Structure 1
């Protein structure tokens, strides 16, 4: 059974009214469990109380577990901290609609008790490696948990891109923008853009054009297992690549981005009372057929 003796806390105090409550619960719990140390991201300085330590982001890469307290954006930040360090993440929902932050602030002390007792499971989420080439030279590289968003560099312009799948021309997209989302990202911007929800264990990505010019263009689900997607501008204009809604790169004319399945995964802690199917019903308000009076 995995032991958690050093737990990192990721949160942003301007993002959630419940964050202070969660930190207070953790501080109280830590007093009675001195063998477990807590280290909070330095953005929480002034909010995290003793015995919680405040450290820089680089220090969180040495944790046994990351607690991401907030919404899905906070969980994404934790995932980027954990990348390459094999650190599991537990999302604690202190936001609005969060599919990644499954646990609740209420009862956080009980959640910590369950963690200590080993009453949890883990699940792995696929990621996408995005590599930008200028000729044969690699000029940019990012790994994403949610999506790669391809949009026009100039404001109020549409994107016109050619997409190839495993070396074969797939189609030309002309739309406001184009999303390439993982199953994790399928419940984020992809869902708002009308794309399908993909179960987290499905090894696939979905291409979703945002407001396409052609009615025949629809979201497309593809496997990336041992396959690649290649995206290049179909016109002499630069594009912006936005990675997980956080980092943007200006892809210049003549450059291309190649997307493949990342060999690493993001590992999430799943408490016994949570699950993806339940989250769909709760967060999307699925009620089934109308009940008769």
Structure 2
């Protein structure tokens, strides 16, 4: 390992700066170069100091360059930033000695097609959301999977999610939890008019499109991983598909996916150590 990057969470606390300085000195003692708050080709590792939101901010660039990412959580346990700050040196020692596993997380790419002109692609690790914004009435969205018509959703919006994002907005809207190793795209309506408008899982090869049907509706927006990307108007089309890039996420050796689920979702447990007695 020759050069690594450290991304610090922005905020009012000095903790990310202090830990970044400590880690920089630790790596340099081992002959490894360090860059701060940069994502560039050739990095051997990217360390995120913060929470899941900090990681989401750099996921697209890291995946394009094929840089493995490890998240050190400075707050509550995250779904993506799994390593606690107290475990940071132990986890980094393991990484330096190649004792780690990499999960390849699916990303989405999306673009707006307006007046026949496509925008640049945007990347999403969690989700792409079409939201009605501040308007009072439902919006209508025609939707297709490849060339096959799905339905016209009448709802407050529509979520297109990765398995990684299944525990984010998708879950709040009543969508299913999907294990991140399962390659798929989720479609979940937000507060649909009809109760039979249910979430849908499609294969990752599917090209999804959604078109705003009712042009009287104003303030309809497209959000990519929570960030406003475009305003959408009548007959504008949003295209969503799996990206050709994957996020290389280094998983914690201390916590498995279901332990994180139990912690974040407050699931009760009657088994003290969680061990399978048949193994």
Q: TM-score w.r.t. structure 1 length?
A: 0.84
Match of 2:210 in 1: 231
Structure-2 separation of matches of 1:97 and 1:274: 10
How far off is 1:212 after superposition? 1.6
Which residue, out of 62, 68, 80, partners 1:100? 80
Count of paired positions: 270
**CA-CA distance at 1:244 after TM superposition:** 0.7
1:19 corresponds, among 16, 20, 23, to: 16
From 261, 266, 270, the counterpart of 2:251 = 270
Structure 1, gaps ≥5 residues long: 42-56
CA distance in 2, matches of 1:165, 1:115: 40
Which of 148, 151, 154 matches 1:174?
154
Secondary structure at the residue paired with 2:65?
Answer: coil
How do 1:1-293 and structure 2 match up within 5 A?
4-14=1-11, 18-20=15-17, 22-30=19-27, 32-33=29-30, 35-41=31-37, 57=38, 60-152=40-132, 154-225=134-205, 227-236=206-215, 237=217, 239-288=220-269
State the superposition RMSD in angstroms.
2.3
CA drift at 1:272: 2.3
Q: Which residue of 1 aligns with 2:276?
A: none
After TM superposition, give the deviation of residue 168 of structure 1 in Å: 1.6
Secondary structure of 2:103's match? Answer: strand
Higher fraction of strand: 1
Aligned mates of 1:171, 1:91 — CA distance in 2: 39
Alpha-carbon distance change, 263 to 217 in structure 1, aligned in 2, over 3 angstroms: same
